[in-house]
Amino acid sequence: MSLAYVYGVGTSYFGRQPDQTDYSLAWRAVREAFADALVQGVDAAYVGTVFGASGVAQRALHAMGLGGIPMVTVENACASGTTALHEANVAVRSGRYERVLALGLEHMTARMRGGIHPELTDVEGATGLGMPSMYAMAAHRYLSKGMATAAQLASVSVKNHHHAMANDRAQYRGEFTIEEVLASTMIADPLTLLQCCPISDGAAAAIVGVDRRVAGDVPIRASALRSGGLWDHRSEQVWGFELVSATAGEAYAAAGIGPEDLDVLEVHDAFTIGEVVTTEALALVAVGAGGAAAAAGQTAIGGRHPVNPSGGLLSRGHPLGATGLAQTAEIVWQLRGRAKGRQVDGARVGLVETMGGGVAGIDGNGCVVAILGG
């Protein structure tokens, strides 16, 4: 099988945008992606959304003149956007289509009332465990076992908000101190407001196609998708670790590279502890070393493993279905050397990782890892 390539990417602005709609957000992302790809039309579309209404993908794309093609809406919680990318990648690599649109969109302010509510048919959701409390339990285990300190967790927020200073599409930007992060409103102890991703509206898109040997096309070296399960309390690891580790292992093996080969990463930092655990699960650092690595600047732009130069979910924002493709867009811009004030010098190989819990149905999670460039 030959590789599939990202021809072009596009995104909307991210943030609370009640004046926008699913369709206007999608339009911005798709229009930019086509302009960037220098093509017109695709053979098929995969569209990731979590709370979008039935048919939102078709309505959005028909209005842009993309009617008649096969369209499949995919849902995989916070990994819905990267699920669309993964399905597009596999479809092109297998020769099923020559060119596919992967789109993610989410207008959370219109579709949700105040946040993601626990799904009561989920065993963990039924206990009242929402996403913040789930991640807080992971953070508590790290703190209690001496695997990270509260200040180290906060340093992830400081870093990602700083990175977002150079991202004019980010929802939040700011220069904070660790003390300020720790002093912000407590959401789920020990996670404070500045350690939690916001409610966001946004869309992001990528055009994926066969090799055309055009400068700026970025190869998808590998992508992998897995589903996980309940927090296995017999495990020494926190929720999500094994799933991310297994999915990354599959992607590394398929790409023929290891974590030492990665120049830049966009990972699922819905909460600060999430980024710490993910850098460990991706084997960038040893288990229990992620907090210290963040605090030491190893995961900042200029560090050994720059993570979330866009600002990540914490600062760029987290429009659920759009997130995976917003991450993909950032990696593509980085690998092209066009990330302006947040460029990672000489970035050649990048990784995208998204892990979704079943929207406070924690049981129903999935993970996608994609490796681009090289």
Question: Is 77:363 a contact under the CB 8 Å cutoff?
Answer: no
Question: Which span (4-12, 82-90, 296-304, 339-347) binds a second copy, by CB under 8 A?
Answer: 82-90
Closest distance to a second copy from the beta carbon of 235 (Å): 13
Q: Does 115 bind a second copy (CB under 8 A)?
A: no
Q: What is the DSSP letter of 238?
A: P
Q: Does 72 bind a second copy (CB under 8 A)?
A: yes
Question: Which span (147-155, 199-207, 277-285, 352-360) binds a second copy, by CB under 8 A?
Answer: 352-360
Closest distance to a second copy from the beta carbon of 158 (Å): 31
Q: Is the dihedral of CA 71, 317, 307, 144 positive or negative?
A: negative
CB atoms within 10 A of CB 340: 10
* HEC string for 332-359: HHHHCCCCHHHCCCCCCEEEEEEEECCC
User: For a second copy, which residue of 43, 98, 261, 363 counts as binding (CB under 8 A)?
Assistant: 363
Rank residues 94 and 127 by Cβ distance to a second copy and give the closer one. 94
State the Cα–Cα distance between residues 51 and 117, nearest whole angstrom. 12
Rank residues 50 and 326 by Cβ distance to a second copy and give the closer one. 50
Considering only residues 202 through 241, tell me which ones interact with a second copy, judged by CB under 8 A. Answer: 225-230
Q: Does 74 bind a second copy (CB under 8 A)?
A: yes
State the Cα–Cα distance between residues 223 and 195, nearest whole angstrom. 28
Q: Does 89 bind a second copy (CB under 8 A)?
A: no
Count of alpha carbons within 13 Å of 8, Cβ hemisphere only? 17
Q: Does 324 bind a second copy (CB under 8 A)?
A: no
Question: Which span (94-102, 155-163, 287-295, 310-318) binds a second copy, by CB under 8 A?
Answer: 94-102
List Cα–Cα distances, 103 to 62, 119, 153, 252, 352, in angstroms.
14, 26, 32, 25, 15
Residue with tokens 């279905």: 321
CB atoms within 10 A of CB 179: 11
User: For a second copy, which residue of 39, 58, 165, 180 counts as binding (CB under 8 A)?
Assistant: 58
Q: Does 2 bind a second copy (CB under 8 A)?
A: no
User: For a second copy, which residue of 35, 41, 55, 338 counts as binding (CB under 8 A)?
Assistant: 55
Q: Does 122 bind a second copy (CB under 8 A)?
A: yes
DSSP symbols for 97-152: -SEEEEEEEEEHHHH-SSSPPPPTTSHHHHTT--HHHHHHHHHHHHHHTTS--HHH
Active site amino acids: 78, 318
Q: Does 304 bind a second copy (CB under 8 A)?
A: no
Q: Does 366 bind a second copy (CB under 8 A)?
A: yes
Count of alpha carbons within 13 Å of 177, Cβ hemisphere only? 3
Question: Which span (31-39, 93-101, 183-191, 305-313) binds a second copy, by CB under 8 A?
Answer: 93-101
Contacts of residue 98, defined as CB under 8 A and 6 or more positions apart, other chains included, come to 43, 92, 209, 210
Q: Does 17 bind a second copy (CB under 8 A)?
A: no
CA dihedral of 339, 340, 343, 346, whole degrees rounded to 10: 90
Closest distance to a second copy from the beta carbon of 356 (Å): 8
Q: Does 330 bind a second copy (CB under 8 A)?
A: no
- Largest alpha-carbon pair distance within the chain? 56
Angle between helices 320-335 and 22-37 (to 10 degrees): 20
Q: Does 126 bind a second copy (CB under 8 A)?
A: no
Closest distance to a second copy from the beta carbon of 339 (Å): 30
Provide the binding-site residues for a second copy, judged by CB under 8 A.
21-23, 50-51, 53-59, 61-62, 67-77, 83, 87, 90, 94-96, 119, 121-122, 225-230, 246, 357-359, 361, 363-366
